[in-house]
Amino acid sequence: MAWTSDTQEHYWLNDKQELVCNGHAELCDRKYGNVTFLGAHDSFAFSTNPFALSRTQEVNITEQLNLGARLLQAQSHMNNGKLHFCHTSCGLFDGGSVADYLRTVKTWLDKNPNEVLTFIFTNPENISVSEVWKPVFEETGMADLAYVPPSPVMSREDWPTLREFIQSGKRVIVFLDKGADNRTNPEREYILPQFKMVWEDPYNPTDASFPCTVDRTAGPLTPTDQLYLINHNLNFDILPFFHPGFKIPDRLNTPRTHGIYSIYTHAMNCAAIMNEKNPNFVLTDFSNVGQAMAAVDFLNGF
């Protein structure tokens, strides 16, 4: 068959029709800021032991990704001179080195080239981005997949489509809650300041009705111009009469918490103050339990 401009257009159309982005062809030409993603809270803290009170997940990182999580959240701490992911402290739950974690995720991404993934990492010790975080991303190869935005602060509508992320090869978006604000070369920086672009409602919630308020954010954008994350990881306070109490993940009620009705209600509570925009991230404990992925699909219109 002779190659003509019509033939070329035919192939492009077929490519466009056949590409599946994050599991759905319909998401390919949707902007990142208009997609809802399932998130795994403290994704490193997995254990099958029900007496491990600091666990937040029952299956490992690879399985979380296989189940549909496209936001991985984790808390960092230094441990013996190396950057680790730990729950509150490394003595309470040590999830291992950040380098090993990123290698695991990179292996999965290499096998799944049509997936867009977001990291939101917390940095409570304000560990240096240039001296500690970036070298880990570079040595693991994750920096090669990380997206560098054209503007230091991106509004909700500024982000590319999922197709554009995938075709560029830069399909990992990295947010850090602390330490990424003062970037010397923003045109080259892929570790982004979370609260300038993503706000969250209250974390460690204990109210199963999930009322919504803007809890953590920073300028210059207004919340309605930012991406936003809902903390749909219900907790149980085992010391309710002592301040500040002691909260642990409410595993017993997770099937109900991860029901479509519960997640949809939480999302609508926030949409009411967000010009009816759905959340971008639904953060969950025990992501393998219940209907969390089905609820996210529902929010995306499937």
- Contact between residue 272 and residue 228 where contact means Cβ atoms under 8 Å apart: no
**Residue 87 annotated as catalytic:** yes
Q: Where are the beta strands (DSSP E) in the chain?
A: 37-40, 71-79, 82-86, 94-97, 117-122, 172-176, 191-193, 198-200, 227-231, 235-237, 247-249, 281-284
Catalytic position from the list 41, 84, 258, 266: 41
Active site includes 41?
A: yes
C-alpha of 266 from chain center? 17
Is the C-alpha dihedral spanning 249, 176, 97, 296 positive or negative? positive
Amino acid of residue 215:
D
Do the beta carbons of residue 84 and residue 100 sit within 8 Å?
no
Cα–Cα distances in Å, from 209 out to 198, 200, 205, 246, 265? 23, 17, 10, 20, 8
Q: Can you give the length of the chain in residues? A: 302
The SS3 assignment for 73 reads strand
Catalytic hit among 87, 232, 258, 266: 87
Q: Supply 15's token pair.
A: 């490519």
Question: Residues with catalytic annotation?
Answer: 41, 87
